[in-house]
């Protein structure tokens, strides 16, 4: 059964358009509160990124939760993985993040963690949805919840991140450029790397409510690449708006994506800790990652796109490292959700302990040319039942002759259909992707 409001990563949309309205957030908070009132006084943590609309949704959720008898800890701007961590450490019933991750400022979203800092189960999401449109009620005044603002949340998370590296390991001697995407990590990420000994040049760390992800961060590396080269830095680190994903730039100014970061971390863990656990990617992961892991003697699994599915597959197969080429990287012995800062620290550990630059470490995998075209759609379509689209896909697959892949998928967070083609020849792969994209576009407009 399809959910009415929840997507692959909570609820998300354009601010002011249903369901991203203050009224809906109030009802959502009340519904969540009703689901959580299984003990005398449940506690919920709320954090957000730096979007101007975060104030509105924070207040609406707070009102709904308090009316259901839930106590609240307000953390202010904090990375999504920090909410997962602090939900556990405060022994809270749930954590809520107000963020649209890598989307522009005019979008926002609301996502949840359970008491273990994990994404909510489908069962709980269905239960919340069933209560959203119930008649508005409030507990008696003597059972209303209270809201308290926690001032030391950033410091708590900074110390947690630092513990992801061995105690005696220092980043001294490394010059890092850190792009905070004008998002939730602006007051955290530079401090983490500086306190571990690195020289840090922080950029895009002055949020104003509307500049989050604007030509910066993990989805826009151009400025970071230029500054890494200009500063002659060892590497660059680009987080997205809520810091749950990371991309990097090596000293030559070349992009290092999530697949390559996973490969670097996995090889280092294998070489230095003999960690032979399975590796999990997604249907979008470059085939070069799969081949590299196989060459290392590690089993590689593909999950559906979305970090919740990667985490699910990691638990099923007993894996420790997984993620997406978009930069969600999960290191399960550190935290069971995508964490851009933690992932970057694992890569830096490999750089320090091997005494090799990132440009050399990433050679562990050879990337196959991969072309991704995002198609904005005005109407939904079941492309698996479209005769024209399936004919185009079949034709391209026949021309690839087993030397590549074709993947079509609808975005879980935006009105897009993603066309991905992978092959050995870059120009040919581009032509194939454009051919399929033209057919998809004609069917969706």
Hey, which residues are catalytic here? 101
The residues, ordered by sequence, that sit 6+ positions from 347 with a Cβ below 8 Å of its Cβ are: 248, 261, 264, 265, 358, 361
- In Å, how far from its chain's centre is CA 79? 10
3-state class of 148 per DSSP?
Answer: strand
CA gap 425, 35 in Å, rounded: 52
**CB of 40 closer than 8 Å to CB of 11:** no
The pair of three-digit structure tokens given for residue 301, joined into one six-digit string: 């699994």
Query: How far is the CA of 87 from the CAs of 114, 115, 119, 143, in angstroms?
Result: 8, 6, 12, 22
Give the contacts of 422 (CB within 8 A, at least 6 positions apart).
286, 287, 368, 369, 370, 371, 404, 405, 406, 407, 429
- 3-state SS, residue 203: strand
Contact indicator for 44, 73 with CB cutoff of 8 Å: yes
CA distances from 165 to 161, 316, 331, 353, 444 (A): 8, 26, 12, 11, 48
């Amino acid at each position: 059964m399809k959910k009415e409001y929840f997507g692959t990563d909570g609820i998300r949309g354009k601010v002011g358009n249903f369901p991203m309205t203050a009224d809906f957030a109030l009802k959502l908070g009340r519904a969540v509160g009703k689901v959580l009132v299984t003990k005398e006084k449940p506690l919920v943590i709320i954090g957000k990124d730096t979007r101007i609309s975060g104030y509105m949704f924070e207040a609406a959720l707070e009102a709904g939760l308090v009316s259901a008898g839930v106590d609240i800890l307000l953390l202010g701007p904090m990375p999504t993985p920090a909410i997962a961590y602090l939900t556990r450490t405060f022994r809270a019933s749930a954590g809520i993040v107000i963020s649209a991750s890598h989307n522009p400022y005019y979008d926002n979203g609301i996502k949840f963690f359970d008491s273990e800092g994990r994404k909510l189960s489908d069962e709980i999401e269905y239960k919340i949805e069933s209560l959203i449109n119930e008649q508005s009620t409030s507990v008696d005044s003597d059972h209303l919840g209270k809201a308290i603002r926690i001032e030391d949340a950033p410091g708590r998370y900074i110390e947690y991140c630092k513990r992801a590296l061995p105690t005696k390991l220092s980043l001294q001697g490394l010059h890092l450029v850190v792009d905070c995407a004008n998002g939730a990590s602006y007051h955290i990420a530079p401090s983490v790397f500086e306190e571990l000994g690195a020289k840090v040049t922080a950029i895009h760390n002055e949020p104003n409510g509307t500049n989050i992800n604007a030509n910066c961060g993990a989805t826009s590396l151009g400025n970071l690449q230029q500054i890494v080269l200009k500063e002659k830095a060892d590497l660059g680190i680009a987080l997205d708006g809520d810091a749950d994903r990371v991309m990097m730039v090596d000293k030559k100014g070349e992009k290092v994506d999530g697949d390559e970061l996973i490969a670097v971390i996995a090889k280092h863990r294998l070489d230095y800790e003999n960690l032979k656990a399975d590796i999990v990617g997604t249907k979008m992961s470059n085939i070069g990652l799969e081949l590299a892991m196989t060459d290392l003697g590690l089993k590689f699994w593909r999950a559906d796109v979305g970090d919740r599915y990667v985490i699910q597959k990691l638990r099923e197969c007993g894996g420790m490292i997984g993620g997406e080429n978009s930069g969600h990287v999960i290191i399960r012995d550190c935290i069971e959700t995508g964490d851009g800062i933690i992932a970057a620290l694992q890569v830096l550990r490999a750089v320090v302990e091997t005494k090799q630059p990132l440009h050399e470490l990433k050679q562990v995998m050879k990337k196959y040319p991969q072309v991704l075209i995002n198609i904005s759609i005005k109407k939904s379509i079941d492309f698996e039942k479209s005769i024209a689209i399936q004919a185009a896909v079949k034709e391209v697959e026949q021309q690839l002759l087993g030397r590549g892949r074709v993947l079509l998928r609808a975005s879980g967070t935006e009105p897009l259909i993603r066309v991905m083609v992978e092959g050995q020849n870059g120009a040919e792969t581009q032509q194939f992707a454009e051919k399929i994209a033209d057919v998809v576009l004609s069917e969706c407009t």
